[in-house]
Amino acid sequence: MAEMSTHNESEIIRLKQAAGDAAVEQLKSGMIVGLGSGSTATLAVNTIGKRVAEGLRIIGIPTSEKTAAQARGLGIPLSTLESHPAVDITIDGADEVDPALDLIKGGGGKQLREKIVAAASARLVIVVDEGKLVPKLGTHWAVPIEVIKFGWQATAARLRQSGCNPVRRLLPDGEIYITDDGNYILDCQYGPIASPPDLQREIDSIVGVVEHGLFIGMAAQVIVAGGDGIKVLNR
């Protein structure tokens, strides 16, 4: 992929901020709010922090240790799913969104906690820039699959039979990437996925898989920021 110019990078950040701001407008005092992870969610959490400073009263459920640290720094009150098992709304980003509003998430490696919080939410609102819209999932992104360390090679062999070449994720310094929950991530490039629900079922059936980045039928709304402004897509 060609390197983006500084102008393009700043424009994408502006679009992500606009999408995040539009999602945060839905928050009301008294809500339990899932706080997503990743670059777009980080911008939305910053906006939530400003709203809280202005008097918005919410309780946040963070989807990663990084998001928790960010929220604490902004003065956003935090809790857990143990104390608040029903979440009113979660605001999160995505790596790809298809026309059915199905998603690939997990480019940042937080898909397990993101999916747990999303599943506990009455509404999952996804914020993206228009570059994340694709005709089919898998067009640009691999599917991140979180696996336990024990026997991961055997799990990878089973995943290979599903039509991908699993690559264990590494950090930029070459160290193995370890998730917040102590697992590995295998990035599995399938190419354009003909049937995301069928692939989801196949991956779910493989022993050793903890969770994956296919979010099928979970997003209630996708807010897309583009050159023509904000577009809201509803399921």
What is the percent of the chain where pLDDT is above 70?
97
Predicted TM-score (pTM) of this structure? 0.92
Contact by Cβ (8 Å): 191, 77 = no
Catalytic residue among 96, 114, 146, 211: 114
- Predicted local distance difference test score (pLDDT) of residue 227: 83
User: At residue 5, what is the residue type?
Assistant: S
Higher pLDDT, 22 or 228: 22
Angle at 77 between CA 56 and CA 210, to 5 degrees: 120
Tell whether 92 is covered by a domain.
yes
Band (pLDDT 50/70/90 cuts) for residue 99 is very high
Angstrom distance (rounded) from CA 39 to CA 105: 12
Contact by Cβ (8 Å): 19, 11 = no
Both 204 and 229 in one domain: the answer is no
- Predicted local distance difference test score (pLDDT) of residue 4: 38
Contact by Cβ (8 Å): 144, 168 = no
**Three-state SS at 55:** coil
Both 155 and 124 in one domain: the answer is no
Both 147 and 166 in one domain: the answer is yes
Angstrom distance (rounded) from CA 42 to CA 35: 9
- When pLDDT is averaged across residues 93-111 and rounded to a whole number, the result is 96
| pLDDT single digits (tens) 22-64 | 999 999 999 999 999 988 899 999 999 999 999 999 999 999 9
- Predicted local distance difference test score (pLDDT) of residue 5: 39
Both 170 and 196 in one domain: the answer is yes
Angstrom distance (rounded) from CA 53 to CA 39: 22
Domain that holds residue 50: 6-134+216-234
| pLDDT single digits (tens) 209-220 | 999 999 999 999
Structure tokens that stand for 231 in this block: 């577009």
Rounded to 10 degrees, what is the CA torsion of 81, 120, 30, 232? 140
Q: What is the CATH number of the domain that holds 196?
A: 3.30.70.260
**Three-state SS at 140:** coil
Domain tally, the chain: 2
Of the candidate ranges 9-18, 49-58, 142-151, the one whose mean pLDDT is the lowest: 9-18
Angstrom distance (rounded) from CA 197 to CA 99: 14
Structure tokens that stand for 230 in this block: 């904000």
Tell whether 1 is covered by a domain.
no
Q: Quick check: is 114 catalytic?
A: yes
Both 117 and 24 in one domain: the answer is yes
214 φ, ψ (degrees, to nearest 5):
-85, 115
Both 127 and 61 in one domain: the answer is yes
